[in-house]
Structure 1
């Protein structure tokens, strides 16, 4: 299962070895200054476009989704809440990841001193 963590001034998204293979994804490290907004994922319909990776309908989505000028890094699991992090000036425009501690991460990423 993928996980998100904040390490100093960076947001890290890490994947298990199996996820690296199945989803054709790599770990992602972005500066917190690149985070534009953070929201809870309301529906898996927010994932749009053509995919490179794994898609088991209503069970698991893992990989990169491409649409016109838009790129999403996705790791969603049925029954696990998820966060959508919008990024500015990075390889991906959005990162959607299922993580059990969505409330804590949402609060930490939304806080701007």
Structure 2
């Protein structure tokens, strides 16, 4: 399962095993300054994410990269039954990160001031 680590200057995602194959990397790091919005969703997002490269098991898991017809690029690691962290980024390879994690609420709180919620 994807692991999220937040420190003073960066947010790090670690994609283990087969998830790394689906997203094309084992790590993704973003500067905290690039995070413009942090949102906590209660769970699974059923919105259309766009064209994918990765794995989707309908209603259970979505892992990979997605490009919406509007041009929004997303890095996704979603699992049903866990809170969903949506981060909007500026000036990065991806426009959004969608990651399921039991501690997603704590990450939103830790990002604190300077980030829209």
Fold in common (TM above 0.5): yes
Matches of 1:2 and 1:111, distance apart in 2: 25
1:1-113 equivalence runs, <5 A: 1-21=1-21, 23-26=22-25, 27-41=27-41, 43-67=44-68, 68-112=70-114
Matches of 2:80 and 2:29, distance apart in 1: 25
* Unaligned stretches of 5+ residues in structure 1: none
Matches of 2:74 and 2:112, distance apart in 1: 20
Q: How many residues are treated as equivalent by the alignment? A: 112
More helix by share: 1
| Contact 2:23–2:75 (Cα < 8 Å) also in 1 | no
* Unaligned stretches of 5+ residues in structure 2: none
Question: Post-superposition shift, 1:79?
Answer: 0.7
Question: Post-superposition shift, 1:14?
Answer: 1.0
Runs of at least 4 residues off by over 6 Å: none
Return the TM-score normalized by structure 1. Answer: 0.90
